[in-house]
Structure 1
Amino acid sequence: MDEILLQQFLDGQAPNPAFATDLAWNLIGYNGPLADWFPWVARQANQMKWVLLEPEAREQLVNWEQDWARPLLGQIRYERAHHPEDEALRQLERDILVESPAAQEMWGRHEMAEHSHGDFRRLRLPYHQGREVAIRIVALRPMRSDHLRVVVLMEVDEGGAGS
């Protein structure tokens, strides 16, 4: 996907945070609201490493293990099964399992998840003064690349969580 077009798309998702990653969850683009909600994007270029290795993620991602860590590890397992020769994915798996005993334990469950599209989750971010915020995840793959994913986090009220 053309980088300029991708960035225009991400910027157009405001006020919703939006980002794009490659197959190994390396950030390749994001909009201003994502940087506001998640300042870590300025220092950590990999979504999975932030979620699974950074202590602040455990505080900011409500129900971290059940709703975030296990499903995301399942996504790594899914992509590894579908792209077994991809060195960046192999390295991501190694890095996370070496650096996190918690991830090692969860990895042993052999759970697999294709994506997080449509999932309802909660955040407790400094941007929202620590107030819990409910989101729905919209996860897309451009038609021209199965090695790219685009994610938009749509804030919802608790009453809209089941819709």
Structure 2
Amino acid sequence: MQAVLDALLPHPAYLSNLWWDILAHNQPQEDWFPWLPYERNLMRFAFLFPEAREQLVNWRTDWAVPFLAQIRYAIATHPNSRELIRLRDDVLAGNEEARELWAAHHAMAHPDGDVRRFRLPYHQGEEVRVQIMAFAPLRNQDLRAVVLLRV
């Protein structure tokens, strides 16, 4: 999968597991997301690190609500996953706003096709719009590959 991610240059791309640990990524992903060296879990970064609110434009509506909906869907489809339950509990324990949003009971499978915005700290705070392209390798559909295409 690393070869596939590298072939997607210049677009940032990553591979994550069922509970959003980033298992592999290409260089543009690291250039856009300087948090990767200290937090390998996308959801924990989004909810437990204050800089996420700056980097993920429209954090509450465009990121937090859909991310929580994805966590809820993942738990519904994998109810015995201790890692997913731990992720949910960590996010809700560490973020008061997430607890409030969780009560809305939204669920969604994936962000494939969504258009969202990022603010890039390593690029003088440049704001970019991307379309999220998500897919799963057939050999393990609990993995997800995500490519961020500038639009």
TM-score, normalised via structure 1 length = 0.90
In structure 1, the partner of 2:3 is 8
In structure 2, the partner of 1:152 is 147
Aligned counterpart in structure 2 of residue 129 of structure 1, from 98, 116, 124 = 124
Please state whether the residue corresponding to 2:150 is helix, strand or coil.
Answer: strand
1:104 aligns with 2:99: yes
Deviations 1:104-131 (A, max 9, x none): 0000000011100000001111233112
Relative to total residues, which structure has the larger helix share, 1 or 2? 1
Q: Please tell me the root mean square deviation across aligned C-alpha atoms, in Å.
A: 0.8
1:27 aligns with 2:22: yes
In structure 2, the partner of 1:3 is none
1:18 positional shift: 0.4
Please state whether the residue corresponding to 1:39 is helix, strand or coil.
Answer: coil
Aligned counterpart in structure 1 of residue 53 of structure 2, from 50, 58, 73 = 58
Which 4+ stretches in 1 moved above 3 angstroms? none
Q: How does 1:65-76 map to 2 (within 5 A)?
A: 65-76=60-71
In structure 2, the partner of 1:81 is 76
In structure 1, the partner of 2:90 is 95
1:63 positional shift: 0.6
Percent identity over the alignment is: 48
Paired amino acid for 1:129: Q
In the alignment of these two chains, the number of paired residues is 151
Please state whether the residue corresponding to 2:79 is helix, strand or coil.
Answer: coil
Please state whether the residue corresponding to 1:122 is helix, strand or coil.
Answer: strand
Q: Distance in 1 between matches of 2:12 and 2:150?
A: 9
Paired amino acid for 1:148: L
1:46 aligns with 2:41: yes
Please state whether the residue corresponding to 1:42 is helix, strand or coil.
Answer: coil
Q: Which runs of 5+ in 2 are unaligned?
A: none
Aligned counterpart in structure 1 of residue 112 of structure 2, from 117, 132, 140 = 117
Please state whether the residue corresponding to 1:137 is helix, strand or coil.
Answer: strand
**Is the deviation greater in 103-112 or in 127-136?**
127-136
Q: Distance in 1 between matches of 2:102 and 2:46?
A: 15
Q: Distance in 2 between matches of 1:95 and 1:86?
A: 14
